[in-house]
Amino acid sequence: MTSQQGRSTGEVEVTPDPQVLAGLDHWRTLTVAQQPTWPDPDHVRRVGERLAALPPLVFAGEADVLKSRLAAAGRGEAFLLQGGDCAETFAEATADNIRNKIKTILQMAVVLTYGASLPVIKMGRMAGQYAKPRSADSETRDGVTLPAFRGDIVNAHEFTPEARVPNPERLQQAYHTSAATLNLLRAFTTGGFADLRRVHEWNRGFMANPAYSRYEETAAEIDRAIRFMAACGADFDALRTVEFFSSHEALLLDYERPLTRIDSRTGLPYDCSAHFLWIGERTRQVDGAHVDFLSRVRNPVGVKLGPTTSADDALTLIDKLNPAGEPGRLTFITRMGAGTVRDALPALVEKVTAAGSPVTWVCDPMHGNTITSASGYKTRRLTDVLDEVRGFFEVHRALGTVPGGLHVELTGDDVTEVLGGSEEIDDAGLALRYETLVDPRLNHQQSLEMAFQVVQLMRGA
Ligand SMILES: O=C[C@H](O)[C@H](O)COP(=O)(O)O
Ligand SMILES: C=C(OP(=O)(O)O)C(=O)O
Ligand SMILES: [Mn+2]
């Protein structure tokens, strides 16, 4: 029920259904898990009004394109690579950091494109990944208890009472930092930086290190494929730009709601803070605020599914988030743990598949494999991460369903946060450059190793 108004330009703008508009605030009547305790709710409302007056960060049409790409991934005609920090920070939104992260994702994507013989959909956990759910609401150090760090959009990481007080002005800072990040991201991916020939040269640089000789065969095959393309007269200039999408966990609804806008083409609401939004494992309650809110926007959306997810939960999530069975609308990002994926995933995939509604299955091999090292660091073993990916492929292969992509916490820098890899980061090595504020990320080299090893998995090795 929409109406159309003619414009002198001849353009037709569709006005939204008032009921659809009202529905966007229904979440406020429900339980909203994992929100900060804002000292002054009226301050949050005022910042929300300011955000609502600012331009959208993405265009609804771009979100529609992504939806069609994810639909292809669900059918096995494309593969999603979604990666970035666990928690972006304002301080690290620098040109170097953003460039290195994009570079890492592009390098991985070239390897995966070759391995899968499929287009790879490139998506950053970037330009908005600032809000974190936490296991505990507070943190105690040396007998002092303060509110937990909930991401730069809420409070500061520094362990002082002032820094940890949730400050709504940070919502606006998150918007501006996202805008700056997205601006550079668009420049890098459309301005020549992402040229396939350059990305291939970077991968050659990576392979120059003898530590990675086990990937030589695949690297040589990619090299030959590129030379073959060149010999055939492939138009490399057409491969100077890439599509790159933004995404984050839609956790802080006081941020997502004001950035939700009505698409003038259709009169339908889109959350224009990012192309893709997902609901976390801690906020996927089927009658909760997060599911309700994302059910009312038209972006492609995801839900993280941990090892305790029942098939009934998954089916209810489908009913709520994709009642029309639209391909590409709903992605299930499973994060079961390497030791659990082979037991917990099959029944879920089988029941969802039997229900008939299209779902794109993606593997997050990070969040089910978090451990505390002997020296006290929150970390993960690269071997566990890769084993979960292997389990994910095995399950889908056995059921004849489609492994549609990977969701990874990574950075483009040489941090030491995840154990293992050919350069063998051990427990003592974690201290060298452990920089994450929340979860451990694969470093640049570990990320590329992952891509090469996933190629081997894709080939059934
Ligand atoms: O991705 C983030 C973490 O897994 C999540 O925020 C919980 O972390 P915590 O157990 O350190 O609170
Ligand atoms: C918190 C996260 O994941 P999950 O909701 O799967 O625990 C995350 O992706 O950083
Ligand atoms: Mn995380």
Residues 453 and 397 in one domain: yes
Q: Which ligand is nearest to the CA of 278?
A: 2
Residues 123 and 225 in one domain: no
Ligand 1 centroid to 163 CA: how many Å?
A: 19
Residues 213, 280: Cα–Cα separation, whole Å: 38
Domain C-terminal end among 211, 240, 269: 240
pLDDT tens column, 81-108? 999 999 999 999 999 999 999 999 999 9
Query: Is pLDDT above 70 for 44?
Result: yes
Residues 199 and 288 in one domain: no
Q: Which atom of ligand 2 lies nearest, measured to the CA of 439? A: 10
Residues 209 and 262 in one domain: no
> Residue of the nearest CA to atom 2 in ligand 1?
439
pLDDT tens column, 205-227? 999 999 999 999 999 999 999 99
Task: Out of 364, 408, 439, 441, give the residue to mutate to test ligand 1, the one with the largest number of ligand atoms within 8 Å of its CB.
Answer: 439
Residues 76 and 112 in one domain: yes
Ligand 1 touching residue 367 (CB < 6 A): yes
Is residue 176 included in any domain, yes or no?
no
Residues 396 and 263 in one domain: yes
Is residue 361 included in any domain, yes or no?
yes
Percent of the chain residues topping a pLDDT of 70: 98
Residues 249 and 390 in one domain: yes
User: In which domain, by residue range, is 59 found?
Assistant: 18-33+49-131+245-460
Is residue 42 included in any domain, yes or no?
no
Q: Which atom of ligand 2 lies nearest, measured to the CA of 132? A: 1
pLDDT tens column, 369-386? 999 999 999 999 999 999
Residues 127 and 258 in one domain: yes
Residues 72 and 212 in one domain: no
Categorize the per-residue pLDDT at 13 as very low, low, confident or very high, splitting at 50, 70 and 90. Answer: confident
Residues 61 and 120 in one domain: yes
Ligand 1 touching residue 86 (CB < 6 A): yes
Ligand 1 touching residue 372 (CB < 6 A): no
**In terms of pLDDT, which residue wins out, 13 or 72?**
72
- Give the domain CATH number at 306: 3.20.20.70
pLDDT tens column, 236-270? 999 999 999 999 999 999 999 999 999 999 999 99
Is residue 213 included in any domain, yes or no?
yes
The structural domain count of the chain equals 2
Q: Which ligand is nearest to the CA of 333?
A: 2
Domain C-terminal end among 186, 217, 240: 240
Query: Is pLDDT above 80 for 7?
Result: no
Average pLDDT over residues 173-191: 97
Question: Is 281 marked within a binding site?
Answer: yes
Task: Out of 126, 281, 441, give the residue to mutate to test ligand 2, the one with the largest number of ligand atoms within 8 Å of its CB.
Answer: 281
Is residue 182 included in any domain, yes or no?
no
In this predicted structure, which of 8-12, 138-142, 356-360 has the lowest mean pLDDT?
Answer: 8-12
Query: ipTM of this model?
Result: 0.98
Is residue 251 included in any domain, yes or no?
yes
Is residue 423 included in any domain, yes or no?
yes
Residues 338 and 374 in one domain: yes
Domain C-terminal end among 205, 240, 275: 240
Ligand 3 centroid to 409 CA: how many Å?
A: 7
pLDDT tens column, 148-175? 999 999 999 999 999 999 999 999 999 9
Query: Is pLDDT above 70 for 395?
Result: yes
Is residue 12 included in any domain, yes or no?
no
Residues 335 and 206 in one domain: no
Give the predicted TM-score (pTM) of the model.
0.97
Query: Is pLDDT above 90 for 6?
Result: no
Ligand 1 touching residue 78 (CB < 6 A): no
Q: Which atom of ligand 1 lies nearest, measured to the CA of 409? A: 1
CB atoms within 10 A of CB 434: 17
pLDDT at 4: 52
> Residue of the nearest CA to atom 7 in ligand 2?
281
Question: Is 169 marked within a binding site?
Answer: no
Task: Out of 282, 333, 340, give the residue to mutate to test ligand 2, the one with the largest number of ligand atoms within 8 Å of its CB.
Answer: 282
Q: How confident is the prediction for the chain on average, in pLDDT?
A: 96
